[in-house]
Structure 1
Amino acid sequence: MSDTPAAPQARTDASSAPARIRPVQDSNLPAIRDIYNHYVRTSTVTFDEEETDLAVWEHKRELLAETGLPFLVAADADGGVLGFAYAQHWRAKSAYRFSAENTIYLSPDAAGRGLGKALLEALLDASARAGLHELIAVIEPTAAGASIALHRRYGFVDAGHLKGVGVKFGRTLDVLFLQKSL
């Protein structure tokens, strides 16, 4: 039995059992890759323009485990991945060791079920337990209004706005920085 607090849960729909938020498992990585690659192909929420392969996610899981940072999934009753969240160090320099960028992605068919909220709550708790002091959300504002609103509801404040720093699908894109002290 784990000594960690009960994980937040979100309803997967009005009539089903709640989704469970838990640490990532190796078997979740193909689904995580697929969720992420959906956004690479269809959206500006990520500035990646080429799909990632499984090795990228295996390396990320290994790195986060080595550094003690959280990598979580929202799983349905059958263990299917509905979304994921993680915190990775903001920069490689040691002075940044208490600051991390948070990331949350949901399966396209899992949106609107409270999973983003549940993942963010769990990530905030896990990040504080990991010793982080600051979380930074990096969000492309035209594609992720719901994400901006969610982060602000949880106490993230505006920390900067970079204009025209990305180009994807022929569009010039901004980046909004939101920050929360833990």
Structure 2
Amino acid sequence: MSQAITLHQTAELRDARQDDCPAIQAIYADHVLHGVASFEETPPDLAEIQRRVAAVQSAALPYLVAEASPAGGDILGFAAVGPYRTRPAYRYTLETTVYIRRGLEGRGIGSLLLPALIERSEALGFRQLVAVIGDSENLASIGLHKRHGFREAGVLRAIGFKHGRWLDSVLMQRALGKGGDSPPDG
């Protein structure tokens, strides 16, 4: 993204670069090892994160980072969208991913990243965004998505087992543009 967006003079939003991958990997690895937002149990290595970032960007989809200001500061969080499912009928629906560096939650970083994903996804012609939130007790992520127009679409109870306990997945959805009110353009 060529234009930097500043939030409280502490963070700027920009497209991820390959040299951001070590920071992205560290943030995500911490969530995998210590949290329940991701149902992965073993953190992907740097090569896998590099592959994931490249795959999203090669599909012309947004993969964003929030960087501490001034530019060149630490990566505070990241967000991306990807296909919700691979079958052709889902081609107008994307799934969101938002992770914030531990200890920085509640400071508006998610509210910098998520609206940008929404705006860019809509500009690309997509009609629906889906968030699959690990753990129904993940009130911060549920609240973030609600504040930005997502509504709860359902809860899959005890669908995952991690850190010695059963976890739910909360499904949230947000229409983009005309949503399901008309056929897609083109």
**TM (normalized to structure 1)?**
0.90
Matched-pair contact (CA < 8 Å) for 1:101–1:137: yes
Task: Say which is worse superposed, 84-93 or 150-159, in terms of deviation.
Answer: 150-159
- Which residue number corresponds to residue 170 of structure 1? 164
- Which residue number corresponds to residue 21 of structure 1? 13
Matched-pair contact (CA < 8 Å) for 2:36–2:135: no
Residue type of the alignment partner of 1:175: S
Q: Give the whole-Å Cα distance in 2 for the aligned partners of 1:51 and 1:160.
A: 27
1:10 aligns with 2:3: no
Q: Give the whole-Å Cα distance in 2 for the aligned partners of 1:102 and 1:88.
A: 7
User: How far apart are 1:143 and its partner, in Å?
Assistant: 4.3
Q: Report the aligned-residue RMSD.
A: 1.6
1:21-57 deviation digits (Å, cap 9, x = unpaired):
0100111000000000001111111111001101111
% same residue: 38
- Which residue number corresponds to residue 99 of structure 1? 93
- Which residue number corresponds to residue 144 of structure 2? 150
Matched-pair contact (CA < 8 Å) for 1:8–1:119: no
Q: Give the whole-Å Cα distance in 2 for the aligned partners of 1:127 and 1:55.
A: 26
- Which residue number corresponds to residue 86 of structure 1? 80
1:68 aligns with 2:60: yes
- Which residue number corresponds to residue 55 of structure 1? 47
Q: Give the whole-Å Cα distance in 1 for the aligned partners of 2:81 and 2:164.
A: 29
Counting matched residue pairs gives 174
Q: Give the whole-Å Cα distance in 2 for the aligned partners of 1:62 and 1:107.
A: 21
Q: Give the whole-Å Cα distance in 2 for the aligned partners of 1:34 and 1:54.
A: 9
Matched-pair contact (CA < 8 Å) for 1:45–1:143: no
User: How far apart are 1:7 and its partner, in Å?
Assistant: 4.5
1:129 aligns with 2:123: yes
User: How far apart are 1:142 and its partner, in Å?
Assistant: 4.0
User: How far apart are 1:19 and its partner, in Å?
Assistant: 0.7
**Change beyond 3 A, Cα 1:39–1:143:** farther
Q: Give the whole-Å Cα distance in 1 for the aligned partners of 2:78 and 2:169.
A: 21
Structure 1 segments (4+ residues) deviating >6 Å: none
Matched-pair contact (CA < 8 Å) for 1:101–1:135: yes
Matched-pair contact (CA < 8 Å) for 1:87–1:101: yes
User: How far apart are 1:109 and its partner, in Å?
Assistant: 3.0
**TM (normalized to structure 2)?**
0.88
SS in 2 for 1:103: strand
Q: Give the whole-Å Cα distance in 1 for the aligned partners of 2:128 and 2:171.
A: 12
Q: Which runs of 5+ in 2 are unaligned?
A: 177-186
SS in 1 for 2:103: helix
Matched-pair contact (CA < 8 Å) for 1:24–1:73: yes
User: How far apart are 1:62 and its partner, in Å?
Assistant: 1.6
SS in 1 for 2:7: strand
